[in-house]
Structure 1
Amino acid sequence: MIVLFLVIAVVFLAAFAALHWYAWRRLIRDTTTRRSVPRRIGTAVFVAGPVLGLAAVRDDMPGIPFAWEGAVDWPGFMWLALFLYLLFALAVGELVRPLLSRWLARRDTPADAPAAPEPRTESPVIVSRRVFVSRVVGGAAAVAAAGTVGYGTYGVMRGPQIKRLTIPLAKLPRSAHGFRIAVVSDIHLGPLLGRRFSQRVVDTINSTQPDLIAVVGDLVDGSVADLSDAVEPLRGLRARNGSFFVTGNHEYFNDPAEWITKVRELGLVPLENTRTEMPGFDLAGVNDVLGEQSGQGPDFGRALGDRDRSRAAVLLAHQPVVIDEAVAHGVDLQLSGHTHGGQLWPGPLLAGLANPTVAGLERYDDTQLYVSRGAGVWGPPVRVGAPSDITVVELASLQS
């Protein structure tokens, strides 16, 4: 097992280095002269960027105080996002490069000029043209990548936007028609997103005046000791029928029991494989799948096994993959997160390989599954093609 891990690590690092060498060649070496200041600066960036990026992906940095981790995470994760879109832009540039070279060659050569013999060594004109093409293509790639990442970062920092959705439930009584649940998942408070972001999320939720608030896992990336101040604004959540919480996989990267105690102290009700009655329906919650590693995984029998199935049931479960269990236990609506909607394109394509639904509402037999894109981020504080959201789900009765 250790040997296999080492082989995978070596292959990954080799590919990582090769891709950086390719990007450095196209953006720095092909566009600058040897020993020039721009080349030295560009080379330094291409050395520091991947080093910080690899450091940032570690959940914990031994010897570095938690308060300082953001100083590594911000540049490191931003580099990884920028590098991803640099590669995409440079790949497009490889298609443009020969077309631009041919166009310049035709423009510089008169139509009636006799063909010149092929020189044995490159002439200064040819070298100059190649540098010009490299600068145009490289510059366009850099602008496109920086613009994409910049806009994606702005979308995260302004906070999640409110999304409204009406979901009809056949068993919901007329008395519960219009019941509104504010669904928020994947806030991921940690070194990158702290108390200010937490307060923005709370203010956005409270502005919707919901009947119930559902925090569907991955609230934090860190310990209670490190993030007590960041989660403090959650004490201000307001809903007529209370605020509820289920664990996500990231809660199990630290001490889930401590976080259960902390969210209860903040006024949220943890649903640990249990349920409670709401006006007109049952609200249930199960632990995240990752809890199985410590014997604290989801227990659908305990949460839903002995309930009255004539009543509608709404289930809070962090990961969409438990939808089959929800169907088997007669759940009418499952509310989930976890996927971030893919967060960074082409992430939605990859997330679709591991999740039945990446984002939005879908039906599985008699059970409807809604997956939120989440309010925060993991990794780069950037979203491309998957804007963050807080969803207000309005339950609709079909009974006359």
Structure 2
Amino acid sequence: MVFVPILIGMLLLVTGAHWYVWRRLVRDTMRRGGWPRRLGTSAVVLLPLMAFATMASERAGAPMPVQQALGWPGLMWLALLLYLLLALAVGELVRPVLLRVLERRAARRGAGAVGGVAVAGAAGGSGGAGAAGAVGVAGAVDEAEREAAVAALAQQVAATEAAEEESAGDGVGGGGIGGGGGVGTETKAPLRLGPVTGVADGGDAAGGGAGGSADSRGSAGSVDSAGSAGSGGSGSSAGSATGSGRAAVGGAGGSAGDRADVSRRLFVARTVAIGATAVAAGTVTYGAYGVLGRAPRVKNVTVPLAKLPASADGYRIAVVSDIHLGPVLGRRHTRRIVDTINAQRPDLVAIVGDLVDGSVDHLGTAAEPLGQLEARDGSYFVTGNHEYFTGASGAAEWLDHLRELGLHPLENARAELAGFDLAGVNDVSGEDVGEGPDFARALGDRDTSRASVLMAHQPVVIHDAVDHGVDLQLSGHTHGGQMWPATYVAEAANPTLAGLERYGDTQLYVTRGAGAWGPPVRVGAPSDITVVRLASPAA
């Protein structure tokens, strides 16, 4: 019953992670209804399903071509998803900073546009021709702001023309009533294109006088009037019309401002999405090359053993673990590992578990190059947790197949070599099928005056090794965390993540392994093959 809520929690976590990735990479950056958005949405839905199908097909023993077809895209997506989430999380910090920078830059450009665009209308019959008389542009104005300025200018010109026609008619009637006998003179206000949020009111200066001459000291230039009552009416009408034009321009400017804000946010969303995708893809590509494109690195470690005789000083053990043959890593991967080990010319080869992720029927040929390992005292093997994924019968089939290839499986057993005892125990996962580790059987009746080396897949059995007087334990299992930041989780779950550490009188060496489980990707935990050189104090 405990398993059910854990499963539900994991499904919710995975679903939430994919929704977040879809939101940031697809919804926020692509036009609704377009084919790129449909393609992105389909990928975010199908790729995790392929990853789950890959794991299920491995456990179910599906044909290898099916596992491979599902495995490559599905498993690589898991690695890409991890680094997309990390990159997008960093993007959440970058997003408001970048948006603020763009807003400030737009504000500075808008201020420059206000000072650099001026339109002066000529006094005369056609307001449209006068308004188009002189246009000066100072500074660089981007395309969106230029279009907004032109639209605002066109609306102001249209409003002014309408005002002039209306004021001309009112001026004629006003002249007759006032008894001056003259035709009312229309007063024109200079046109000024204001910032995006409004327009400077030139009509107020022109229409401020209710009968005399219009004082234009508050504007650029002067406007002469006939001084009649009709002129006052004209000024009032012009001011009203100009106010209407200002309102219209303000509305257009507000709309342009909204469009500019949306454009900036879209630019920021796409910039963060592209940057996060590039970082994630680059990281996964580099990590995949470390597994698929080159042989594991060779590490050399010297381990002094107090009981080791001088005759065994300098004895070299090639330690390899977690090869993980499966739908992605196959025969060529095995060949690289064998060639790398043989080049070191070790005295003994110790394979400490997790050789395969499947059955002998599917992966037997992929493991065949192991029969070409070269070592004076032979090659030894102990089971890991993955050997038991196919049950006890599956593990037994692999042990028989490895014997056919010339390897020596140690099933809770030991071999007495010149200078020390080499023991091996089954993995703790074998307890589920009645084949767990048995330290008493492997170490109970040996000569304790001799040095002992124990092969055990998981580092967690180190305390049992200490209790049984083991001098050196060789383990794997951790992968060194395989992909940062999973390294922190692996470190918390194991007594030693990688490398050599001492527990009482027992030393523990953990190799990061030569392969990868799940995605064939390693980041911050490069694969390795370790050559352990035993040193004798007597030498």
TM-score (norm 1): 0.95
Report the 3-state secondary structure (helix = DSSP H, G, I; strand = E; otherwise coil) of the residue aligned with 1:109: helix
Residue 50 (structure 1) aligned with residue 48 (structure 2):
yes
Instruction: State the one-letter code of the partner of 1:189.
Output: L
TM alignment of 1:23-172, pairs within 5 A: 23-58=21-56, 60=58, 62=60, 64-110=62-108, 113=111, 123-157=258-292, 158-172=294-308
Report the 3-state secondary structure (helix = DSSP H, G, I; strand = E; otherwise coil) of the residue aligned with 2:401: helix
d(CA) in 1 for partners of 2:39, 2:103: 32
Report the 3-state secondary structure (helix = DSSP H, G, I; strand = E; otherwise coil) of the residue aligned with 1:58: helix
Please, which runs of 5 or more residues in structure 1 have no aligned partner? none
d(CA) in 1 for partners of 2:381, 2:69: 30
Partner of 2:3: 5
d(CA) in 1 for partners of 2:402, 2:463: 28
TM alignment of 1:272-283, pairs within 5 A: 272-283=411-422
Cα distance change on mapping 1:63 and 1:329 into 2, 3 Å: closer
C-alpha distance after superposition, 1:292-312 (max 9, x if no partner): 122211111111111111111
Cα distance change on mapping 1:111 and 1:142 into 2, 3 Å: closer
1:383 pairs with 515, 522, 539, which one?
A: 522
C-alpha distance after superposition, 1:97-150 (max 9, x if no partner): 000000111111129948959969971100000000011111100000000000
Please, which runs of 5 or more residues in structure 2 have no aligned partner? 112-194, 199-252
Q: Percent identical across equivalent pairs?
A: 63
Q: Provide the alpha-carbon RMSD of the alignment.
A: 1.9
Moved more, 27-36 or 119-128: 119-128
Residue 234 (structure 1) aligned with residue 370 (structure 2):
yes
Q: Which has the higher contact order (CA 8 A, sep 6+)?
A: 1
- Residues 110 and 196, structure 2, Cα contact 8 Å, conserved in 1: no
d(CA) in 2 for partners of 1:398, 1:347: 39
2:443 pairs with 304, 317, 330, which one?
A: 304
Report the 3-state secondary structure (helix = DSSP H, G, I; strand = E; otherwise coil) of the residue aligned with 2:532: strand
C-alpha distance after superposition, 1:232-287 (max 9, x if no partner): 11110110011101111111112111111111111011111111111211111111
Residue 394 (structure 1) aligned with residue 394 (structure 2):
no
- Residues 57 and 67, structure 2, Cα contact 8 Å, conserved in 1: no
Partner of 1:221: 357
Report the 3-state secondary structure (helix = DSSP H, G, I; strand = E; otherwise coil) of the residue aligned with 1:27: helix
- Residues 58 and 357, structure 2, Cα contact 8 Å, conserved in 1: no
- Residues 286 and 303, structure 1, Cα contact 8 Å, conserved in 2: yes
- Residues 288 and 522, structure 2, Cα contact 8 Å, conserved in 1: yes
TM alignment of 1:148-227, pairs within 5 A: 148-157=283-292, 158-227=294-363
Q: Aligned pair count?
A: 398
C-alpha distance after superposition, 1:49-88 (max 9, x if no partner): 1111221232536584223211101100101110110000
d(CA) in 1 for partners of 2:61, 2:425: 35
d(CA) in 2 for partners of 1:277, 1:54: 45
Max Rg structure: 2
d(CA) in 2 for partners of 1:23, 1:71: 24
1:45 Cα deviation after fit: 1.3
d(CA) in 2 for partners of 1:202, 1:286: 23
Instruction: State the one-letter code of the partner of 1:389.
Output: D
1:365 Cα deviation after fit: 0.4
Report the 3-state secondary structure (helix = DSSP H, G, I; strand = E; otherwise coil) of the residue aligned with 1:104: helix
Cα distance change on mapping 1:24 and 1:320 into 2, 3 Å: same
Instruction: State the one-letter code of the partner of 1:48.
Output: L
Partner of 1:323: 462
Report the 3-state secondary structure (helix = DSSP H, G, I; strand = E; otherwise coil) of the residue aligned with 2:445: coil
1:159 Cα deviation after fit: 2.6
Report the 3-state secondary structure (helix = DSSP H, G, I; strand = E; otherwise coil) of the residue aligned with 2:326: coil
1:266 pairs with 392, 405, 415, which one?
A: 405
1:32 Cα deviation after fit: 1.4
C-alpha distance after superposition, 1:358-395 (max 9, x if no partner): 11110000111000100111101101111101101111
- Residues 57 and 77, structure 1, Cα contact 8 Å, conserved in 2: no
1:6 Cα deviation after fit: 3.4
Instruction: State the one-letter code of the partner of 1:54.
Output: F
Residue 253 (structure 1) aligned with residue 392 (structure 2):
no
- Residues 85 and 145, structure 1, Cα contact 8 Å, conserved in 2: yes
Cα distance change on mapping 1:231 and 1:34 into 2, 3 Å: same
